[in-house]
Amino acid sequence: MRVVLTLVSSYALVFGLTLSESIDLALKNSPKISISKSTVKYHEYIKDAAIGAYHPTLEVGFNWKKLENPTTFAFSTSYNYNINLQYNLFNGLSDYYTVDSKEFELESSKLQEVAVVEDLKLSVIVAYTNYLKAKKLIKTQEKQFVSLEKQYDDTKVRYEQGVVAKNDLLLIDVEKLKAEQALIQGKSNLVKVKSNLANTIALNIDTNELIDDFDASVSDVEDITSLELKMMQNRSEMKAMKLMSKSFNAQKNAINGNYLPKVNLEARHQINGQERVSGESVFQAKDQTSYGVNVTWSLYAGMRNSAMKKALLEQQNQYNFSLHQLKLDLKNQLVQAYENYKVAKSAKHVAARAKSSAEENYRITADRYSYGDVQTLTLLVSQSNLTQAENEYNNVYYDLYIAYKTLRRIVSN
CATH of the domain at 225: 1.20.1600.10
pLDDT at 229: 96
- Asked if residues 403 and 337 have their Cβ atoms less than 8 Å apart, the reply is yes
Pair 213, 68 in one domain = no
Check residue 7 and give its pLDDT.
36
Does residue 274 lie within any of the structural domains? yes
CA distances from 40 to 86, 104, 106, 114, 287 (A): 32, 12, 6, 11, 48
Per-residue CA distances from 146 to 108, 121, 293, 378 (Å): 58, 38, 95, 18
Of 296, 320, 349, the residue at which a domain comes to its end is 296
**What pLDDT is recorded for position 165?**
87
CATH (domain of 272): 2.20.200
Nearest 5°: phi and psi at 194?
-70, -40
pTM: 0.86
End-to-end CA distance of the chain: 52
Residue 63 structural domain: 57-90+262-296
How far is it, in rounded angstroms, from Cα 344 to Cα 65? Answer: 84
Instruction: Compute the chain's Rg from CA coordinates.
Output: 38
Three-class secondary structure assignment of 185-254:
HHHHHHHHHHHHHHHHHCCCCCCCCCECCCCCCCCCCCCHHHHHHHHHHHCHHHHHHHHHHHHHHHHHHH
Q: What are phi and psi of 123, to 5 degrees?
A: -60, -40
78 and 50, same structural domain?
no
Q: Residue 36 domain-assigned?
A: yes
Total domain count for the chain?
2
The closest of 369, 357, 413, 373 to 148, measured between CA atoms, is 369
Question: What does the pLDDT read at residue 11?
Answer: 37
User: Would residue 23 count as lying in a domain?
Assistant: yes
CA contacts within 13 A on the Cβ side of 247: 21
Residue 194 resides in a domain:
no
29 and 70 in a common domain: no
Closest-CA residue to 43 (of 243, 184, 216): 243
Displacement of CA 228 from its chain's centroid (Å): 22
Return the pLDDT at 15. 52
Cis before 225 (ω within 30): no
For the chain, how many residues are written?
413
Question: Residue 104: its pLDDT value, please?
Answer: 97
Q: Give pLDDT tens digits along the chain (413 positions).
A: 333 333 333 333 345 899 999 999 999 999 999 999 999 999 999 999 999 999 999 999 998 888 777 776 666 678 889 999 999 999 889 999 999 999 999 999 999 999 999 999 999 999 999 999 999 999 999 999 999 999 899 889 988 888 888 998 899 899 999 999 999 999 999 999 999 999 999 999 988 888 999 999 999 999 999 999 999 999 999 999 999 999 999 999 999 999 999 999 999 999 988 887 777 777 778 888 999 999 999 888 888 999 999 999 999 999 999 999 999 999 999 999 999 999 999 999 999 999 999 999 999 999 998 888 888 888 899 999 999 999 999 999 999 999 999 999 999 87
Query: Which residues are within 8 A (CB) of 336 and not within 5 positions of it... i.e. 6 or more apart?
Result: none
pLDDT at site 79: 85
Check whether residue 279 and residue 346 sit in a common domain.
no
Last residue of a domain, one of 296, 314, 340: 296
Tell me: do 274 and 401 sit in the same domain.
Answer: no
217 and 227 share one domain: yes
Confidence (pLDDT) at 75: 67
Q: Where are the beta strands (DSSP E) in 66-174?
A: 78-90
Q: Is residue 152 part of a domain?
A: no
State the Cα–Cα distance between residues 259 and 301, nearest whole angstrom. Answer: 9
Name 173's Cβ contacts closer than 8 Å, sequence gap at least 6: 152
**Are both 27 and 117 inside the same structural domain?**
yes
